[in-house]
Amino acid sequence: MVENDVAMGVFLFVVMVGSGVLLMWMARATASGRLKRNALAGIRIPSTMASDEAWQAAHIRAKRPTMLGGWASIASGFVALLPVSAPVRATAVIAGCVLMLGFLLYGSKVGSRAALEISSRSAD
């Protein structure tokens, strides 16, 4: 039984830390312009896909909440390694996922607003 708990902790650590690191990399890469408009990663909604300028503005504005989402994921991954009961581990990982999702949704919202500002300026 102990081996299963350790294996589950390691698995959750790898998934959550990997997700967090990937989110943080993506936040930096899109905000800096290294990751251009694409069909796979980033805030891919009509307002952000309208132009390169809208894409860039959205990701600059969304960088901070996306980074916070990445940190929430990483933190919950480290909690998964602690010698705690399965319910405590599950609660920590679920809380990390909820925080990560909340930060990502907020980042998408503020990013969308930034992209719409760029689009409205271009239309004028």
Q: Are 119 and 47 in contact (CB under 8 A)?
A: yes
pTM recorded for the entire structure: 0.88
Report the alpha-carbon angle 98-102-28, nearest 5: 110
Taking 70 as the pLDDT cut, the residues of the chain under it are: 1-2, 123-124
Calpha distance 76→95 (Å, rounded): 8
What pLDDT does 35 receive?
Answer: 93
Q: What is the pLDDT of residue 2?
A: 66
pLDDT value for 24: 97
The 3 state secondary structure assigned to 90-114 is HHHHHHHHHHHHHHHHHHHHHHHHH
